[in-house]
Structure 1
Amino acid sequence: MTDSLAVAVNRDGLHTLAVPTEFEASGPFAVRVHNHGEAAHVHLNLDDRLSEIARIGATNHYVEAGESRSITVETREPSRWPSDTIRGKLKVVVGHGQETHYVDVTVDRTAANGTVRVDPELGKPNRDSEPELPPLAKLVPVVALGSVALVLAVGAVFTGGGIDVVIGGLSIVAAACCAAAAYYLLG
């Protein structure tokens, strides 16, 4: 699968659709439906021209609130196409006919000649993911715990004898383990 068509449902109110007016693919493609509001039924239909080379497994799709779904539009083997380029319409319906949009679809088997198509959605920031901490921020707890262990170890070695020396030695080992963990986190 090389291409995908983004469909936004209920983004601007109940039973609304946001669909591009044109779409190009070089073969099989996906219709990515994202429901921004109430649960809805989305119907997809290919016109007669597109049906010559493509098919959708199911035309009716129930999409829960906040859910995203990818619906595959399969194409026949390109050697069985009537021509290199097929143009037709994809009908997208929501709310049992309350809102209908048509997308002019061009499927061009010659377009798969090594060019890379970039989905325009990639240029938009992802609001769902949380920013990842920089590597040095991940290191702060390790350094803090290692420093505490080292201070306790040095204090135990210089202030007492017997069991304090053993606890101090174990604390030095703990500090060394923290240092090793920090090395692997940054490495």
Structure 2
Amino acid sequence: MSETVSVHINRDGIHHIDVAQSFETDGSFTIALKNHGAPIHAHLHLDDDLSEVASLGATNHYVKAKDIRHVPVTVHDAPATGKLKIVTGYGAETTYVDTNILEPEERSRSIPVDEALSKPQGSRPTDSRRGRKSTQSDTLKNLPLVILGLLALVLVVGAGFLVDNGVALFGGLVVMIGLGVATYFLTR
């Protein structure tokens, strides 16, 4: 179904409105005001029946020369039938569009499941934190990082003893705790 009502203004003369006589949708839609001539004001109005289930953000719209203005119509409920009123030139020209808002089609809320999901998967353990298989090679990949951390620890503790500074020793302690936490999470 069409989701846009195309309204041609000033195509066949000043204030002239050219639009389909009826429109049907099953949800929110847009009114496209296409101006083929001089700048113009257009007034849009939903009759009582339509305004109970749909709303316009604004009713008066200025459309520049040779420009298109898109006006959203939000549908809150369905079904409904009514008239969309389009006015140009402050009442010089008025046109009505029979509008039918249908009940939305019932969409399936189920998720298709492949038959392969019913069969047992491989026997390797799965690392649930990352959603992938854990292997011993993952631990070996982290070994250079652990060695580098130990080397940094030795350098910081050595510098702390060398300068006999409590702050440097405290820094070494913080690095050692950080290294312990990192090692725990990397080898877990």
- In structure 2, list runs of 5 or more residues that go unmatched: 109-188
Following the alignment from structure 2 to structure 1, what is the Cα–Cα distance between the partners of residues 64 and 51?
28
Question: What corresponds to 1:20 in structure 2?
Answer: 20
The percent of aligned pairs where both chains have the same amino acid is 43
User: Residue type matched to 1:86 in 2?
Assistant: A
Following the alignment from structure 1 to structure 2, what is the Cα–Cα distance between the partners of residues 113 and 96?
43
Deviations 1:102-149 (A, max 9, x none): 0000000235769xxxxxxxxxxxxxxxxxxxxxxxxxxxxxxxxxxx
Following the alignment from structure 1 to structure 2, what is the Cα–Cα distance between the partners of residues 111 and 63?
34
Count, aligned residues: 108
Aligned-pair RMSD on alpha carbons?
A: 2.0
Instruction: Answer whether contact 1:17 1:99 (CA < 8 A) is retained.
Output: yes
User: Residue type matched to 2:64 in 1?
Assistant: E
Matched position secondary structure for 1:37: coil
User: Residue type matched to 1:10 in 2?
Assistant: N
Instruction: Answer whether contact 2:86 2:96 (CA < 8 A) is retained.
Output: yes
- In structure 1, list runs of 5 or more residues that go unmatched: 115-187
TM-score, with length taken from structure 1: 0.55
Question: What corresponds to 1:65 in structure 2?
Answer: 65
Tell me, yes or no, if structure 1 residue 98 matches structure 2 residue 116. Answer: no
Q: Where in structure 1 do 4 or more consecutive aligned residues deviate above 4 Å?
A: 111-114
User: Residue type matched to 1:92 in 2?
Assistant: I
Matched position secondary structure for 2:104: helix
Q: Which has the higher contact order (CA 8 A, sep 6+)?
A: 1
Structure showing greater Rg: 2
- The 3 A distance-change label for structure 1 pair 57 and 108 is same
Question: What corresponds to 2:80 in structure 1?
Answer: 86
- The 3 A distance-change label for structure 1 pair 112 and 21 is farther
Matched position secondary structure for 1:49: helix
TM-score, with length taken from structure 2: 0.54
Shift of 1:73: 0.4
- The 3 A distance-change label for structure 1 pair 72 and 42 is same
- The 3 A distance-change label for structure 1 pair 112 and 89 is farther
Following the alignment from structure 1 to structure 2, what is the Cα–Cα distance between the partners of residues 53 and 42?
22
